[in-house]
């Protein structure tokens, strides 16, 4: 059994509370203490077998809680293999892993000193127990012989079939339950070697509160039923005793206490470590906390600013970790389903796996699997307080939306065009078919309309040189698209029963704001009984517009409400209203 790592010593307010209750017998001045907010201290001391944690913004879920727990597993399960799971491999490499690396850095666990990523470990390091799978691609190795497999739900073939002792996942709200369940059989490991540890065959998942109105998956909420509160309390009490004895032993050594006293404390500590280990077996800790759990660090001003920025409804979900749902029947896009989104759109084999490192800079259209690089791009453009682009292609039998882009003031049209040109710099057919908002054509004659500015900014560099792109307007002279027209076309399109219309597929990874906008858009009837899309969300504060406003859904409207599609729906409508002789 590997040496049991010392739990973090408590600090400040948390220590003072426990001392007041008689749990600790030492003052903060008598030991080397490290800051920890109360929920992280609770988890560190308890060490539950399974952890399902929902925390508000600013609770340091990745850099502190998740990083610390995985770090603890490295020491307790030396030589073990683990799965680090994310919704996409790109998200894992550009967001989740860097946060863990930052958390380990704070613990003195240094890259290329104590662990390596995507390369062979030094020859003098210990080897993982499952040496038969000694492949360094998509992995992390530690000097203790631990091996972490990088797994993502959008490419299940990566490290498929590998046996692991535990699963770890961040941003659980983005992980679909049915796909996540497919990784469960791999959690088996070697019971003879690792079965002594409560972490063996365990789960650790963190997230902020899932918002089903934004399309999040709330499976983690179901994990509460697996928690035995009495077992958790036993594990916590034993952990507190271990922590207390660690502090006493540290104090005794610092004071040069007698050898006999130190040996007695050491023996007592070992007994309680064993009791703690037994108490932790088969425990599940499910907990929801608001951002106030870290209020000592965030300060009151942080919460005041967040309330001003977010508004009360978003503040409830993001900061207070309260659930939010859209009532049935309120959706403008009532036929929108999960089947309209695809999540396998990254071309790992031909692009990402050939990169030395995946970064935001090399995340471009070259990595989109289903984009036809030799064909024009279709763009829907909504102009206003937020400028939105929806980019896709009409392909055989399907209209595929592959990317969204936007700018919010003080960014302007040239900034939006620059984002487009940067992302699609490797696209071979540099032709754009543009469907802008009809209002964007205003002042077209004097070349001051939004549509013409976007066209010019795509076709030229900032200093006026041609870029090689050509933009063609596609809806000049098209009739106004009413809310009722859009409502009928979209629900006909999304219904999937009209064989004259192509199927609709949207990249769920690259179009998260569009997905949210479509799912949040509400419908109502005005005083005349006419269908309307509720547009009040477009008055939200700037930082909320992309995910919560109808702006992206409007860009999608211009993208999809084309003359030929409208004609197909109108033809069907006329057929339904015609004579009985119509077949």
pLDDT band at 209 (very low <50, low <70, confident <90, very high): confident
- Is 392 within a domain? yes
**pLDDT of 470 higher than 80:** yes
- Is 421 within a domain? yes
- Is 294 within a domain? no
Q: Quote the pLDDT of residue 570.
A: 82
- Is 526 within a domain? yes
Most confident stretch, 109-118, 238-247, 359-368, 414-423 = 414-423
Mean pLDDT (whole number) for 457-478: 92
**pLDDT of 306 higher than 80:** no
The percent of residues above 70 in pLDDT, for the chain, comes to: 80
Expressed in angstroms, the distance from the first to the final Cα of the chain is 78
pLDDT band at 131 (very low <50, low <70, confident <90, very high): low
Q: Residue written as tokens 């308890």? A: 46
Mean pLDDT (whole number) for 132-152: 83
Taking alpha carbons only, the member of 358, 407, 558 closest to residue 474 is 558
Q: Quote the pLDDT of residue 458.
A: 96
Most confident stretch, 154-158, 166-170, 212-216, 255-259 = 166-170
Is the preceding peptide bond at 410 cis, omega within 30 degrees of 0?
yes
Mean pLDDT (whole number) for 218-238: 90
- Is 226 within a domain? no
pLDDT top residue among 322 and 133: 322
- pTM comes to 0.58
Q: Answer yes or no: are the C-beta atoms of 426 and 468 closer than 8 Å.
A: no
Instruction: Answer positive or negative: Cα dihedral of 107, 108, 114, 116.
Output: positive
Average model confidence (pLDDT) for the chain?
82
Q: Quote the pLDDT of residue 539.
A: 84
**pLDDT of 21 higher than 50:** no
pLDDT band at 158 (very low <50, low <70, confident <90, very high): low
Altogether, the residues listed in the chain come to a count of: 583
Q: Quote the pLDDT of residue 24.
A: 37
∠ CA(361), CA(362), CA(368), 5° rounding?
125
**pLDDT of 8 higher than 60:** no
- Is 178 within a domain? no
pLDDT top residue among 328 and 20: 328
Q: Quote the pLDDT of residue 466.
A: 95
- The conformation of residue 526, written as its DSSP 8-state character, comes to -
Q: What's the distance, CA 106 to chain centroid? A: 23
Instruction: Kindly list the distances between the CA atom of residue 106 and the CA atoms of 34, 67, 103, 123, 163, in Å, as whole numbers in the listed order.
Output: 11, 10, 5, 26, 30
Q: Quote the pLDDT of residue 236.
A: 93
The Cα–Cα gap between 101 and 112 comes to 11
- Is 540 within a domain? yes
Instruction: Answer positive or negative: Cα dihedral of 91, 93, 99, 103.
Output: positive
Q: Residue 460 is part of a domain; what is its CATH number?
A: 3.30.420.240
Dihedral pair phi/psi, residue 150, rounded to 5° = -85, 115
Q: Quote the pLDDT of residue 57.
A: 73
Instruction: Kindly list the distances between the CA atom of residue 484 and the CA atoms of 175, 260, 326, 495, 566, in Å, as whole numbers in the listed order.
Output: 35, 86, 21, 16, 12
pLDDT, one tens digit per residue, over 416-430 is: 999 999 999 999 999
- Is 278 within a domain? no
pLDDT top residue among 469 and 336: 469
The Cα–Cα gap between 29 and 179 comes to 50
Q: Answer yes or no: are the C-beta atoms of 508 and 515 closer than 8 Å.
A: yes
Q: Quote the pLDDT of residue 25.
A: 37
Mean pLDDT (whole number) for 189-202: 86
pLDDT band at 134 (very low <50, low <70, confident <90, very high): low
**pLDDT of 115 higher than 60:** yes
Q: Quote the pLDDT of residue 572.
A: 66
List of residues 6+ apart from 173 with CB closer than 8 A = 207, 208, 209, 210, 211, 216, 217, 218, 220
Mean pLDDT (whole number) for 388-403: 96
pLDDT, one tens digit per residue, over 366-387 is: 999 999 999 999 999 999 889 9
**pLDDT of 295 higher than 80:** no
**pLDDT of 37 higher than 90:** no
Q: Show the domain range for 552.
A: 338-574
Q: Quote the pLDDT of residue 2.
A: 40
Residue 544 is encoded by which pair of tokens?
Answer: 């909320």
What domain count does the chain have?
1
pLDDT band at 431 (very low <50, low <70, confident <90, very high): very high
């Amino acid at each position: 059994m590997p040496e049991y790592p010392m739990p973090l010593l408590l600090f400040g307010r948390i220590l003072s509370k426990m001392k007041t209750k008689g749990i600790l017998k030492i003052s903060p001045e008598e030991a080397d203490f490290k800051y920890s907010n109360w929920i992280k201290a609770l988890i560190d001391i308890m060490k539950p077998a399974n952890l399902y944690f929902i925390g508000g913004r600013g609770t340091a879920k990745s850099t502190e809680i998740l990083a610390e727990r995985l770090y603890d597993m490295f020491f307790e399960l030396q030589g073990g293999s683990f799965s680090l799971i994310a919704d996409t491999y790109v998200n894992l490499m550009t967001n989740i892993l860097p946060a863990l690396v930052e958390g380990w850095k704070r613990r003195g666990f240094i890259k290329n000193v104590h662990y390596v990523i995507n390369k062979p470990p030094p020859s003098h390091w210990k080897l993982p127990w499952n040496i038969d799978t000694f492949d360094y691609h998509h992995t992390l190795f530690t000097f203790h012989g631990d091996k972490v497999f990088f797994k993502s739900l959008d490419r299940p073939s990566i490290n498929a079939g590998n046996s692991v002792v535990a699963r770890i996942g961040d941003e659980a709200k983005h992980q679909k339950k049915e796909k996540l369940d497919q990784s469960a059989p791999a959690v088996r490991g070697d019971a003879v070697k690792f079965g002594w540890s409560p972490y063996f065959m365990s789960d650790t998942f963190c997230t902020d509160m899932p918002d089903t109105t934004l399309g999040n998956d709330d499976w983690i909420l179901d994990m509460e039923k697996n928690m035995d509160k009495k077992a958790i309390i036993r594990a916590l009490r034993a952990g507190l005793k271990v922590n207390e004895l660690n502090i006493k032993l540290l104090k005794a050594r610092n004071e040069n206490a007698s050898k006999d006293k130190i040996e007695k404390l050491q023996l007592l500590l070992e007994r309680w470590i064993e009791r703690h280990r037994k108490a932790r077996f088969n425990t599940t800790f499910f907990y929801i906390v608001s951002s106030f759990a870290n209020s000592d660090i965030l300060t009151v001003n942080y919460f005041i600013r967040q309330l001003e920025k977010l508004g009360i409804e978003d503040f409830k979900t993001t900061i207070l970790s309260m659930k939010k749902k859209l009532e049935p029947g309120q959706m403008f896009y009532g036929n929108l389903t999960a089947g309209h989104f695809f999540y396998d759109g990254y071309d790992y084999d031909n692009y990402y796996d050939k990169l030395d490192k995946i970064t935001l800079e090399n995340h471009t259209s070259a990595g989109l699997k289903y984009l036809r690089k030799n064909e024009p791009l279709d763009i829907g453009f909504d102009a206003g307080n937020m400028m939105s682009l929806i980019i896709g292609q009409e392909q055989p039998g399907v209209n595929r939306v592959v990317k969204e882009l936007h700018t919010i003031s003080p960014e302007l049209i040239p900034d939006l065009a620059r984002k487009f040109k940067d992302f699609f710099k490797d696209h071979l057919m540099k032709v754009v078919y543009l469907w802008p908002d009809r209002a964007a054509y205003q002042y077209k004659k004097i070349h001051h309309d939004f549509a013409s500015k976007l066209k010019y900014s795509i076709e030229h560099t900032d200093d006026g040189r041609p870029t090689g792109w050509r933009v063609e307007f596609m809806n000049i002279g098209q009739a106004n698209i009413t809310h009722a027209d859009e409502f009928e076309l979209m629900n006909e399109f999304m219904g999937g029963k009209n064989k004259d219309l192509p199927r609709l597929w949207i990249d769920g990874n690259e179009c998260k704001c569009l997905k949210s906008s479509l799912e949040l858009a509400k419908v109502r009837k005005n005083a005349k009984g006419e269908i309307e899309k509720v547009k009040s969300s477009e008055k939200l504060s700037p930082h909320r517009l992309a995910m919560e406003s109808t702006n992206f859904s409007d860009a999608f409207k211009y993208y999809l409400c084309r003359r030929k599609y409208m004609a197909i729906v109108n033809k069907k409508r006329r057929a339904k209203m015609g004579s009985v002789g119509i077949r």
